[in-house]
Structure 1
Amino acid sequence: MEGGGGTLSEVYQSAKKLLLKTRDALERLERLEYATSSSDLSFSINHDITQIQSLCVQMDRFWRSIAAKSQRDLWKRKVEQIAEEAESLRGSLDKYNSRNQKQMMEAKERAELLGQANRDSNHVLRIFDEEAQAMSIRSSARELENANVIGEAILSTIHGQRERLKNAHKKALDVLNTVGISNSVLRLIERRNRVDQWIKYAGMLLTVIFLFAFVLWRH
């Protein structure tokens, strides 16, 4: 089938190549996402999609003139597929342009708000400085109060420990005194036991001498 732009097969191949090129360009545009250079690429993609749709119009005329029904139905499906893909790319481009326009409007609004904020920035900063100083003073007062409470607690603890040490020292002296007295009593008992033993041994010796002398006297 032939026409002003070539045969149906040639127009179809041109449309397929242009479709692949447009899809890659659209993916590249999505990665740029609001870059300043994206407007030129968006315009180029829009032009290519329009060109694809124009080729679809040409192919639509071609396949309708095919005599064989099987061939006509085959080319009809091919052309419709190209047209659907072109329409899908058009929808994706429109969504991107809508997001881009919304982002530009938001950026403009932020710039206007920033300009208003800059006009009031000195006043706002002064308020923040005063509030920050007040908060710093309150924080310092709380820290001093906490330090005072901690100091009093430490002094109280030291005083309690000193009293406990005094009591422990007194008890230790009492124990030592008690031990000293006990040692004296033990030494006295030991001496008494030794004296008693000497008295016992002396008595036994005297008894033996007395008996021996009595025996000699009788004889």
Structure 2
Amino acid sequence: MEGGGGGAGGGGGGRSTLSEIYQDAKKVVLRTRDAVERLERFEYSSAGMESPPELSSSIARDITHIQSLCVEMDRLCRSLPSKSHRDLWKRKVEQVAEEAESLKQSLDKYSLRTQRRMMEAKERAELLGRANGDSHVLKIFDEEAQAMQSARSSARMLEEASLTGEAILSAMSGSRERLKKAHRKALDVLNTVGLSNSVLRLIERRHRVDNWIKYAGMILTIITVIIIWRWKR
């Protein structure tokens, strides 16, 4: 039967016969199937590592070649004079075409698995990159922690300055009370010795000046404390 097909194909002016094309197609199918099996063995034995790209490219070229041979065989099959021969060759061509389609599906599945592994590897790399980038985030956290620590230190310094100011004001208040008592005693003494009113007014002016000096000293002390606190902050 194949010989009859060959005779029909042989009238093509030196072109390959149907039988020769069929044999070529079967050889390419066997070679491609073996390449697909090697591709899958490499995939699983290499822990999911990507196989050499030339192997998958070679398989894709062979599948395309098989499909082109099927087209040529189908064309020659239609020119056979015998219906029985046409039906026989049609089944053979369909079988080769199905094998080519099966090989193509295997290659497509392999390509999908490869793409999925590449995406997973990319995501892991991005996660690792973000994990490494977290050192920058940790640095920011450290800077914020240092700022908070500085703020707490400044708060303690302000509290200490406030306590110091209160102590100074308390001491000044005590001094003011003592000055008042001394002033009253002095007035009593002056009144006793009969000093003039002008002398008393002079003493009173001096007392007011002393009070202004005292208040100015209190304000200057508070301003100094605030400046020191802000400078250390």
User: So what's the TM-score if we normalise by structure 2?
Assistant: 0.50
- Structure 2 unaligned regions, length at least 5: 1-8, 139-233
Displacement, 1:5?
4.7
Deviation at 1:35, TM superposition (A): 3.3
**What's 2:222 paired with?**
none
Question: Which residue does the alignment assign to 2:42?
Answer: 32
Query: 2:128 maps to which residue?
Result: 114
Q: Secondary structure at the match of 1:120?
A: helix
Structure having the higher Rg: 1
Q: Which residue is equivalent to 1:47?
A: 61
Q: How many pairs are equivalent?
A: 124
> CA contact under 8 A between 2:50 and 2:114: conserved in structure 1?
no
Other-structure match for 2:21: 11
CA RMSD across the alignment: 2.0
1-side partners of 2:71 and 2:64: how far apart? 11
Letter in 2 for 1:80: E
- The aligned runs of 1:58-77 (5 Å cut-off) are 58-77=72-91
User: Aligned letter for 1:106?
Assistant: E
Q: Which deviations, in whole Å up to 9, do the C-alpha atoms of 1:46-67 show, x marking residues without a partner?
A: 0000000000000001111111
Q: Residue 68 of structure 1 aligns to which amino acid in structure 2?
A: S
C-alpha contact (below 8 Å) 2:32/2:63 kept by paired residues: yes
**CA offset digits 1:159-204 (Å, max 9, x no partner):** xxxxxxxxxxxxxxxxxxxxxxxxxxxxxxxxxxxxxxxxxxxxxx
Alignment match of 1:20 (pick from 18, 21, 30): 30
Could you tell me the TM-score, scaled by structure 1's length?
A: 0.53
Contact 1:12–1:59 (CA under 8 A) maintained in structure 2: yes
> Amino acid of the residue matched to residue 104 of structure 1?
M
Deviation at 1:31, TM superposition (A): 1.4
Partners of 1:97 and 1:26 lie apart in 2 by 12
Which runs of no fewer than 5 residues in structure 1 stay unpaired? 124-219
Query: What corresponds to 1:196 in structure 2?
Result: none
Q: SS of the residue aligned with 2:81?
A: coil
Superposed, 1:79-90 pairs within 5 Å as 79-90=93-104
Contact 2:18–2:76 (CA under 8 A) maintained in structure 1 = yes
Name the CA distance, whole Å, in 2 between partners of 1:85 and 1:37: 23
